[in-house]
Structure 1
Amino acid sequence: MDSFQSDIFLPYMRDVMRCEQSMQGLNQMWRMIESTARMNCTSEAQTILPTMAATRNNLDKLEQELVASLAGEKVANVLDEIGTKAQYVIDIVVRNLYERTADIGFLATDRELCAFVAGLDEDRDAVLERLRAYRNKYTVYDEIILLDLRGKVLAQIDHHAVLEHSTDALIGQALASDTYIETFRASDLRPQKERALIYSRRMLHPDTHAVVGVLCLCFSFEEEMTGIFCTHRDPKARANMLLLDGANRVIASASPRWISVGDEVPVNPDGSPEPVMYGGRAYLVHTVGAEGYQGYRGPPGWQGQVMIPVDVAFGSTRKHDALARLEPAMAEGLLAHARSFCPQLHDIMRAAEGAAETIRRVVWNGQVMTAGRHGDLLKLKTVLGQISETGTASNKLFAQSIRDLYETVLASNLNNAECIAALLVDLLDRNLYERSDDCRWWALTPELRNTLAAQQRSEATLGRLDDILAYINQLYTVYTRIFVYDRSGQIIASTQPLVDGESVVGSRIDDDTLERVLALPGEQHYHVSSFEASVLYDNAPTYIYHAAIRHPEQDALIVGGIGIVFDAGAEFQAMLRGALPGQASMSAFFIDRTGGVIASTDAARPVGTHLAIDADLLALENGRSAARIVAHDGNYAIMGCTVSNGYREFKKTDAYRDDVLGVVFHTLGPIQETGAGAHRPEPLVQTPLEMGNSREFATFLIDGDLFAVAAEHVVEAIPAANISPISVGARPERIGILTMQGEDGGKNFAWVFDLGYIISGEPSCMDANSPVIILRHGVQTIGILVNELHGVPEFSESALIPTPLLASTDGMLVPKVIKANAGRLLIQMVDADYLFRLLMTQEIPMASPTLADG
């Protein structure tokens, strides 16, 4: 974002524009105050005018930085959101098409189909029935075609587009290759489509293994992309999701009337925060290439892209109102970690705090300078009042603007977590959909049906089954093992021995599963085990998909079943980690409706443990998402959660129900100890003074308590940044030294002491803006570090009373208190004479008694 130009986007950000205009108005007010001071208090204001000018310049710089950061975060928010969506487009497509590469490899070796293409079997109706059975299970295909060596169409399932012959070059390519051919373009195999995504592979003679023809699986590309766009598109239709080819041409568009298929569009693979022009309109664009899945990267050059017009990108952004829903203590504690999750927010907060402290110090120093003075110096008091009022207005505006920036940053994180959670459950449902297809199709394998229907089974026959299952498992690596069992539930063939080397052949499946498989009403039905530990998955929890194997001549007669053991550990981990942006501070889970962990990237919560999340999230409706800020493992965290909603017919119309929640945590930092916190005294109320019998005191805060010292001892307050740390002797209360300009033009030095440490025995928190009050008593000068400056009020002598609850106040740091606000507020008065005597000794008794000790 270093080259980010906020001016380009400000006209489209009304809230930021209003903030900028308000800040410019305050800037003009500061200039007027400075001019007034120069004209009316020429000599009196000389000591504060340089600081006023520097403060105004700092505020001007802070205004620019704040406006730029607000605009920058809003742009980054949009780019992150559309970048995540673009990633979804390409990732989901690639994972889907990876399954197609396995499908074509397996179906091209189907013995019945190969026999038909080789001319060994002329029953075309039986072949068509088999192809349609395949299509009924793998509904992602809209056409399946068998061709001979010359391109003659032997069989096809799409009766709306009758073909006789093809001259497509993919036929020759497939015949010459020993792997699949992936084609996306116009083809005479799909004459009604402008482009078709076709997976083709040569077929071999079942006996001689000579090349006899080609199988083509035609992927339902438009339907699939429509489903992706409907699931993940911006619900307010402000942005357009696209799939691009390697030449940056649109091959799928969520809104074709807006951006048409075939158009060449500008891309932004780096996620640059610069608008691009397309069709006479400025857009923010994010382009994402394929990361690949199991080594497969999809068709060459394909990319996901989302484009959103700049003029609508910021007007209807989704709001989480995260801060309004947070407990104040959590909001404040989380903000303490701004440096980690938004460095710009942290820097601006620190700058705003510094500006506020500088303004407070200017007013405070001016009040000290005019204490007990009359004549022209009284003019300066009016200027100081204006500075104080304008400073308060500035503080309020900056505080609101910082809150807006904070809200924007949190909203971006919340949206991101919610989007990742939604992607997780979509990937899971899409993946498991394929498993339900696989088990049902493999159950139709003729060799399996014939073997299980036979009265006797030879070793050679069983060995053939092992070979078939091994070949399938080699193509479909998401399974740990594939096994076949007879009607009694005894496993007769299987891939992969158990970890101890033993074969599962001869063992039995559990009675409940067998009963359910034997009760399946048809070949479109399947059974899935609960997610639980199984000996078939080496005693780890997983899903096992089952389908009934039916008699080759009597479909109503079930002769056994097939089980496929999903490699849940590896596959779920790949889904979770693949969806995370690679940040160590993020973790992801799949859980069930009770919070039981199905998969986890968190080593502290392995599979089988419980994830504690709010009950209302566990009860979310299918397809619904939520995001919130939570306490998680002693840290503040952004949490996103989405409930699965199925894919195509899977978990929607096939009677299978198994809700899974995707949960994402983004840890932002440890929870801060809040406790009661340091209190602030109530504002001072001006009361009538006794004529000729009053004194002015400089007041300040230490650990939330109000202290005062007679104003005649105060020179000024300066920032702690001027302290030079020097260690001389074992004096922990002495924190450094100040160099000051003497009246003779030379340099004077003064020790700086931590007054909070002297009072409580605990070191004070200090930063560059912490105030140091310079005190002078006779010829001695010291500096005392305090937490915050307060004011320089005037009190009657009668308001000063001995410190209560103490038997004697002689030789005390706080011998008296000042009654303010009709006695409701007690201000502890520090004895300057005692303080100097105390600090000039070699040792200080810890801690010096104050009102707090009473």
Structure 2
Amino acid sequence: MQSQSNEHNEHNAILTKLIAGLPEIKNYLSELESQDLWWTTVAMVGKINNQNIDPQLLVSIVETQVEFQKLRDKMMSSLIERYESQAKSDLQLKTQAIIDIINRNLFERTADVGFLAEDLVIKDYLRVQHPDKSDNERIQQRLTEYAAKYTVYKDIALVKPDHSLAYSLKYGNKSLVMHDLFLQDRKLQQGQFVEHFGPCSLYDDEKRVLLYIQAIRKDSQVLGYLILHFRFYDEMNGIFKTLNLGNTQYKMRLTHNDGETLASNDSIHYPLYKKTGKPKSAINPSVHQSSLTLARTTKGYEGFMGLPWLSEASLDVKSAIQQHKPAELNHSLNYQINSQSPLFLHELTETNLMVKNLLLIVILNGKINSLKREVSAFLPVLESFQEISQNISDTFNRFIHHLHSVILKIVLTKLENSALLSAEIMDRNLYERANDVRWWALNDRLINCLKANLSNSSEFASLQVKAQQTLLTINNLYTVYTNLLLIDHNHNIIAVSNPEESKWLGQKFEHKTDLEQCFKVSNSQAYFASNFKPSPYYGDKPTYIYYAPIKDPEKNSNLGAIAIVFDSAPQFKAILKDFAPDFMRHELKTASFNAFINSKGQVISSNTDLLQAGQQITLPAELGQFSAGKQGLAEITLGGTAFICRFFMSKGYREFKNADGYNNYVIALAAIKK
């Protein structure tokens, strides 16, 4: 407890020194010091000319001076508290985001490796003792199809039970033998995946690789192993770039819990593969010299906690203060904090008024006393005190205005970070959905079921059961869907993943127009996504449904389609919760909200009762024209209450919404009462 107190005092001393050094603050403090000195001087003159004056009057003047000094100290403390709060909360948000963004991504990889290990084409290839040219061409095509959809993978490799390479996109069927202990991991024999970060004999041109490995089985026989090589460094560089927001002052790293740096945005501060201290996850940053440093473990996603990694970030305190100077805000925003705003500093404003009134009463009493006792020589002294009082009050008013500007800039920066990160995570999440539906449309069991249905084959019943089992297996791996539906060419639902939704079997699929759009898709790289709208397959609540046609591999004709129902309500709520601005003051928390809306004013999700999914609202002009990546400031009115908000227009992730032909104009909002 004592060390924490010392740390806080050290931090406070650093902040006080740096804040006091800001030009505008120096001017305020200099003015107040000068006026305080003048007060003392006038008080001394008053003592000399105090014949027949009530001594209590001079005591009251000195006491009032002390109150002004207290107010000055309180304002400085308030300024320090705001800067300290912002420096901490910015660091907390970014540090937590590093580990949570990568952990969310890697959760998807664990599902991928489990599902791809069940692929029939891969199993058929590994069963062949000596694959010929056509076998190699077929597996090359299959793995290429997969990598084209999941562009987060650098390579996909198939390894034989003796650990020799069967095939990979990088090496083909080159004769190579792996010597890696992770292939002997017991979890592989138990049907689980293995997550490996470190050297690998197959990729000896890279110092560290992140791999996902799963045994490929036929009944109890191990046919081989699947290895997915994740583009780890591409991903981490993208995360650092997003979180820096153009500000290179933040030093960030992903670290093993033993302190070894796995990835960083600053090779000098955090050199790769070197141990730089042993980080411990904490709520608040620690202070070292003039820097704040914080480490965090992941909150987890869908129960997945990942490898024993932490994120760590540090920020120079001086940089934290400089980036929240209010000057730039005053030029760009015509907005003043009024007394109704949750940002208004009532206590300081009221104290300033109280002290001013206190001195006014003292001066009036002094004038009355002087006139009663006919001591006119003391009247100029009182006039001087009145002038000093007004000057000090004016300085305090300007100081309070400055504090309001600082608070506004700090709050808007929090909102800006929140909006940007919410949009980023939403795009990353939906990127995976677009990948999933396209890949599952190539599943042989689903294709065989639809073929049998089309030809009225006697095998249809058994193949339908297998298709249903396949959908269930997929849904158990990919838990962000409420249902996966297999639909034939006549729009009949013939299999579902959710046993509780079996009532739909044999029914016509109700989103006829969407399905017709899906059937227009001509190649396996394309897909169709519905608008955000109510669906009977989501309890009549609004959501996104992703579609891909399932085609006959030989004829390229439509056999049917797969429709996957995204569990949008909890997924979007979780994003808004995880990346909401972390206001420490209760009144700010209750006065703020986050939301996803589209460019037509339809609410997709929010964390306020003022906005419900599917609701339509009127958008301000700033939000009317969508431009990917655009961000800014707007005012929005809800239920008669005005909110000032930061917005970020989603820009997609990798090829999603950038090179895949899909347009989804989503805007992330982070707002606070005006």
* TM-score normalised over the length of structure 1: 0.71
Match of residue 392 from structure 1:
390
The counterpart of 1:284, out of the listed 276, 286, 292, is 292
Please tell me whether residue 615 in structure 1 is matched to residue 613 in structure 2.
no
Shift of 1:384: 0.7
1:611 partner SS: coil
Letter aligned with residue 378 of structure 2:
L
Q: Which has the higher contact order (CA 8 A, sep 6+)?
A: 2
The counterpart of 2:658, out of the listed 652, 655, 669, is 652
Shift of 1:161: 12
Q: Could you give the per-residue CA deviations for residues 558-608 of structure 1, whole angstroms, max 9, x where no partner exists? A: 322211111122322222223234945443221111211112333343222
Q: Aligned equivalents of 2:365 and 2:624: distance in 1?
A: 58
Q: Aligned equivalents of 2:91 and 2:102: distance in 1?
A: 17
> Does the CA-based 8 Å contact 1:66-1:348 persist in structure 2?
yes
Match of residue 178 from structure 1:
191
Aligned-CA RMSD value: 2.7
Please tell me whether residue 262 in structure 1 is matched to residue 273 in structure 2.
yes
> Does the CA-based 8 Å contact 2:620-2:635 persist in structure 1?
no
Cα separation, partners in 2 of 1:327 and 1:482, compared to 1, 3 Å: closer
Letter aligned with residue 562 of structure 2:
I
Shift of 1:115: 3.0
Q: Aligned equivalents of 1:318 and 1:619: distance in 2?
A: 30
> Does the CA-based 8 Å contact 1:151-1:167 persist in structure 2?
yes
The counterpart of 2:70, out of the listed 61, 74, 83, is 61
Shift of 1:631: 5.4
Shift of 1:55: 1.7
Q: Which runs of 5+ in 2 are unaligned?
A: 584-588
The counterpart of 2:306, out of the listed 285, 288, 298, is 298
Cα separation, partners in 2 of 1:66 and 1:318, compared to 1, 3 Å: closer
Cα separation, partners in 2 of 1:160 and 1:411, compared to 1, 3 Å: farther
Match of residue 312 from structure 1:
319
Match of residue 197 from structure 1:
210
Match of residue 34 from structure 1:
43
Q: Aligned equivalents of 1:372 and 1:266: distance in 2?
A: 75
2:322 partner SS: coil
Cα separation, partners in 2 of 1:197 and 1:637, compared to 1, 3 Å: same
Q: Could you give the per-residue CA deviations for residues 247-288 of structure 1, whole angstroms, max 9, x where no partner exists? A: 3433221233453223415858545466314xxxx3122333
2:565 partner SS: strand
> Does the CA-based 8 Å contact 1:163-1:189 persist in structure 2?
no
Shift of 1:636: 6.0
> Does the CA-based 8 Å contact 2:197-2:211 persist in structure 1?
yes
> Does the CA-based 8 Å contact 2:363-2:382 persist in structure 1?
yes
Cα separation, partners in 2 of 1:364 and 1:621, compared to 1, 3 Å: farther
Please tell me whether residue 22 in structure 1 is matched to residue 36 in structure 2.
no
Please tell me whether residue 167 in structure 1 is matched to residue 168 in structure 2.
no
Letter aligned with residue 12 of structure 1:
L
The counterpart of 2:58, out of the listed 49, 69, 85, is 49
Match of residue 424 from structure 1:
422
Match of residue 382 from structure 1:
380
Cα separation, partners in 2 of 1:422 and 1:647, compared to 1, 3 Å: same
Please tell me whether residue 599 in structure 1 is matched to residue 612 in structure 2.
no
> Does the CA-based 8 Å contact 1:92-1:427 persist in structure 2?
yes
Cα separation, partners in 2 of 1:612 and 1:511, compared to 1, 3 Å: closer
1:605 partner SS: coil
Q: Aligned equivalents of 2:471 and 2:297: distance in 1?
A: 35
Please tell me whether residue 626 in structure 1 is matched to residue 632 in structure 2.
yes
1:371 partner SS: helix
Letter aligned with residue 296 of structure 2:
V
Q: Aligned equivalents of 1:227 and 1:525: distance in 2?
A: 25
Letter aligned with residue 147 of structure 1:
V
Match of residue 829 from structure 1:
none
Shift of 1:242: 2.4
Match of residue 705 from structure 1:
none
Please tell me whether residue 144 in structure 1 is matched to residue 168 in structure 2.
no
Letter aligned with residue 120 of structure 2:
R
1:314 partner SS: helix
Match of residue 91 from structure 1:
100
Q: Aligned equivalents of 1:504 and 1:353: distance in 2?
A: 73
> Does the CA-based 8 Å contact 1:334-1:636 persist in structure 2?
no
Please tell me whether residue 476 in structure 1 is matched to residue 483 in structure 2.
no
2:272 partner SS: coil
Q: Could you give the per-residue CA deviations for residues 271-314 of structure 1, whole angstroms, max 9, x where no partner exists? A: 5466314xxxx3122333211111112212x2233322233332
Letter aligned with residue 484 of structure 1:
L
1:525 partner SS: coil
Shift of 1:140: 0.7
> Does the CA-based 8 Å contact 2:152-2:231 persist in structure 1?
yes
Q: Aligned equivalents of 2:248 and 2:173: distance in 1?
A: 35
Richer in helix (by share): 2
> Does the CA-based 8 Å contact 1:498-1:538 persist in structure 2?
no
Q: Aligned equivalents of 1:34 and 1:623: distance in 2?
A: 61
The counterpart of 1:127, out of the listed 123, 131, 139, is 139
Shift of 1:164: 0.9
Match of residue 489 from structure 1:
491
Q: Aligned equivalents of 1:626 and 1:121: distance in 2?
A: 61
The counterpart of 1:587, out of the listed 585, 593, 596, is 593
> Does the CA-based 8 Å contact 1:198-1:219 persist in structure 2?
yes
Shift of 1:331: 1.7
Match of residue 519 from structure 2:
518
Q: Aligned equivalents of 1:494 and 1:155: distance in 2?
A: 34
1:114 partner SS: helix
Cα separation, partners in 2 of 1:254 and 1:494, compared to 1, 3 Å: same
Shift of 1:43: 4.5
> Does the CA-based 8 Å contact 1:6-1:68 persist in structure 2?
no
Larger Rg: 1 or 2?
Answer: 1
Letter aligned with residue 178 of structure 1:
G
Match of residue 223 from structure 1:
234
1:312 partner SS: helix
Match of residue 361 from structure 1:
361
* TM-score normalised over the length of structure 2: 0.89
Q: Aligned equivalents of 1:179 and 1:121: distance in 2?
A: 28
More moved, 8-17 vs 356-365 = 8-17
Letter aligned with residue 334 of structure 1:
S
> Does the CA-based 8 Å contact 1:589-1:599 persist in structure 2?
yes
Q: Aligned equivalents of 1:71 and 1:616: distance in 2?
A: 34
Q: Could you give the per-residue CA deviations for residues 599-626 of structure 1, whole angstroms, max 9, x where no partner exists? A: 2333343222123442213435222223
Q: Could you give the per-residue CA deviations for residues 141-196 of structure 1, whole angstroms, max 9, x where no partner exists? A: 11111112222111111249967111111101143332111111222232122211
Q: Aligned equivalents of 1:244 and 1:437: distance in 2?
A: 29
> Does the CA-based 8 Å contact 2:100-2:298 persist in structure 1?
yes
Total equivalences in the alignment: 649
Q: Aligned equivalents of 1:315 and 1:322: distance in 2?
A: 15
Match of residue 575 from structure 1:
575
Letter aligned with residue 483 of structure 1:
L
2:379 partner SS: helix
Q: Aligned equivalents of 1:12 and 1:266: distance in 2?
A: 29
> Does the CA-based 8 Å contact 2:46-2:381 persist in structure 1?
yes
The counterpart of 1:433, out of the listed 425, 431, 434, is 431
Letter aligned with residue 595 of structure 1:
G
> Does the CA-based 8 Å contact 1:498-1:536 persist in structure 2?
no
Q: Aligned equivalents of 2:130 and 2:493: distance in 1?
A: 32
Cα separation, partners in 2 of 1:616 and 1:120, compared to 1, 3 Å: same
Q: Aligned equivalents of 1:182 and 1:427: distance in 2?
A: 23
Cα separation, partners in 2 of 1:552 and 1:209, compared to 1, 3 Å: farther
> Does the CA-based 8 Å contact 2:330-2:405 persist in structure 1?
yes
Match of residue 760 from structure 1:
none
Richer in strand (by share): 1
Letter aligned with residue 356 of structure 2:
A
Q: Aligned equivalents of 1:78 and 1:164: distance in 2?
A: 52
1:105 partner SS: helix
More moved, 42-51 vs 402-411 = 42-51
Match of residue 251 from structure 1:
262
Q: Which runs of 5+ in 1 are unaligned?
A: 339-344, 669-854
